[in-house]
Amino acid sequence: MEYRTGDTPGIGRYQCLHCGYIVRLTSDNEKLPACPNCGHHAFEKLEDK
């Protein structure tokens, strides 16, 4: 599933679909930012290991 900047998808790790940078959200209320590395807006959630 794809998530976009501004979405509140919940706690977890999200990988930028453009550059692979990983953003970690620590709150269910936290919004996905634009990618800090490349500025793109599409992410996928990584499975917890």
What residue segments make up the domains of the chain, in order of their start?
2-46
- Of the candidates 46, 41, 3, the one whose C-alpha atom is nearest the C-alpha of residue 19 is 41
Residue range 21-49, pLDDT digits in tens: 999 999 999 999 999 999 999 999 999 76
Residue range 4-17, pLDDT digits in tens: 999 999 999 999 99
Q: Copy the structure tokens of residue 2.
A: 């794809």
- The residues, any chain, with a CB within 8 Å of residue 6's CB and separated by 6 or more, are 31, 32
Q: Copy the structure tokens of residue 14.
A: 């999200």
Q: Distance (Å, rounded) from C-alpha 24 to C-alpha 8?
A: 12
Q: Copy the structure tokens of residue 40.
A: 């793109």
19: pLDDT strictly greater than 70: yes
The model's pTM: 0.92
